Structure 1
Amino acid sequence: MSDSASDWDDDSPAGTADRQPRRRAAPAALDGARARPSRNTDPTLPARERAYREMRYRILEGGLAPGTTLLETELATLLAMSRTPIREATIRLEKEGLVTIRPRHGITVNALSLDDLAEIYEVFSALEVRAAGLAALRGLSTEAAERMRGLLDAMEHATQQGRIEHWSRLDDEFHSTIAAASGNARLQSTLRLYWDQQYRARLAIVPLRASPTRSDAEHRSIFEAIRAGDEAEAERLMRAHRMRADAQTLELLRGQPFVASGGAG
């Protein structure tokens, strides 16, 4: 069963990812290196932006399933918009790897194979490793350290209760906080791009995964290395964590209907 919004507020630390490390001010954390999709379509936004947000939300949350093909006119009817903002939104989504546009044949929601996901994880995880190193190098503020410590406590509590979906959300917050502490806006932006591309796989493994006790221990070690300012150790620990987690994810996804045929054998 999904956790409610009040559940999340009760168990997670307050505040947002830290934005002012000791040694160097970090830029805003965008909307999170692992931000969950939102359909917040403010009517004051340009139509192309509203179309983009709505389509992205439906794709990532499964409302438009992989392999779905729709004509531009059908999308315009579905979203109750004109074709021009739909066209602009789909071009943007194609650049992000979420759809393929075929002139006169419509827009197809891209499916992913295990090979695709393996390539995505190679890039995504390498960036998370560097984020950990930069966070250690630049130093954590007291606020960021307390936030990360609180997230670790909440994750361990969720693990004990067997609330894996809730744990997954806390895990995303923890990794996003590390990315924010890196102080590198371009790194965060690129992480977000690759996060979107593998988000559907992330959702698919939640009910399949075992109790994340090992991840909890690895997170503690990563945090302590970052807090100690040990760049090399933070990167070593994050690399080992990501390699294990990525291999586990690919194994869990093998044979799942979500994954396209032609994946890694």
Structure 2
Amino acid sequence: MARLPARERAYHDLKYRILEGRLPPGTTLLETEVASLLSLSRTPVREALIRLEEEGLVDVRPRHGITVRALSIEEIEQIYQVFSTLEVKAAQLTARRGISAADYERLDGILSQMERATKRGDIAQWSELDDLFHAELVALCGNPRLQGMLRQLWDQQYRARIAIAGLRPLPVISDKEHRAILAAIRAGDEAEATRLHQQHRDRADTLLLSLLRQQQGQPSGG
């Protein structure tokens, strides 16, 4: 980070604080307060805030500073509808292209670590590995445009996942689903990989939205 230009440091530092909940939704700060928080001048901070506003993470109001955006359940549901559809397509393309023995071993190793985290009840570690597993599958799909679109949506869905991390049950079912998805991809069965990944995303997204509604005191149906 120290080697990056000031505007890049401001951007990455603020983004990290927002995604990890250190600047939770609804937080309002003046531009001068943000600059002081980051120990940077206002110019790179202003440039960083423009980027974060374009990404939907903050609202910027001239002379009133910034407010960290809070996404509604409906917005999060829309994000997941797109995000999950693209991720399922990535799994299909990865199965079509095939994976090397080294790729399989790496993915298999990640799943083994996830299963051990599940046994320990370490949801935080499991979630990090889950992100890594899904990112690896997307990285192998061979479609840079699809990868770029998923990256744009990743930040917003990540905040929703962090919000309910302490509420989710042990991911035993997800571990089994991941194993089945990887087996289908290894076999080059794109139809089965697509079916299994769609099933996995549908169940996981339904659980996440239900937990978000529970957290906000809404009925689980909406």
Q: Same fold (TM over 0.5)?
A: yes
Shift of 1:264: 7.6
Partner of 1:38: none
Structure 1: how far apart are the matches of 2:123 and 2:12? 27
Query: Among the aligned pairs, what percent are the same residue?
Result: 61
The code of the aligned residue for 1:215 comes to: S
The alignment status of 1:68 with 2:27, answered yes or no, reads yes
Aligned partner of 1:133 among 82, 92, 100:
92
Q: Which runs of 5+ in 2 are unaligned?
A: none
Structure 1: how far apart are the matches of 2:118 and 2:14? 33
Partner of 2:151: 192
Shift of 1:152: 1.8
The alignment status of 1:243 with 2:174, answered yes or no, reads no
The code of the aligned residue for 1:186 comes to: R
Q: 1:183/1:118 Cα in 2 relative to 1: closer, same or farther (>3 Å)? A: same
Shift of 1:203: 1.4
Alignment of 1:122-201 (within 5 A): 122-201=81-160
Structure 1: how far apart are the matches of 2:36 and 2:123? 38
Partner of 1:207: 166
Task: Kindly provide the CA deviation profile for residues 146-203 of structure 1, in whole angstroms up to 9, marking residues without a partner as x.
Answer: 1111122222222223222222222111111101111223322222221111222211
Shift of 1:85: 0.8
TM-score by length of 2: 0.93
More helix by share: 2
Which deviates more from structure 2 when the two are superposed, residues 158-167 or residues 130-139?
158-167
Structure 2: how far apart are the matches of 1:186 and 1:64? 31
Structure 1: how far apart are the matches of 2:207 and 2:113? 23
Instruction: State the secondary structure of the residue aligned to 1:140.
Output: coil
Partner of 1:99: 58
Over aligned residue pairs, what C-alpha RMSD do you find? 1.8
Aligned partner of 2:47 among 75, 85, 88:
88
Q: 1:58/1:264 Cα in 2 relative to 1: closer, same or farther (>3 Å)? A: farther
Task: Kindly indicate whether structure 1 or structure 2 has the higher relative contact order, using CA contacts under 8 Å at least 6 residues apart.
Answer: 1
Aligned partner of 2:193 among 234, 237, 256:
234
TM-score by length of 1: 0.79
Q: Which runs of 5+ in 1 are unaligned?
A: 1-40
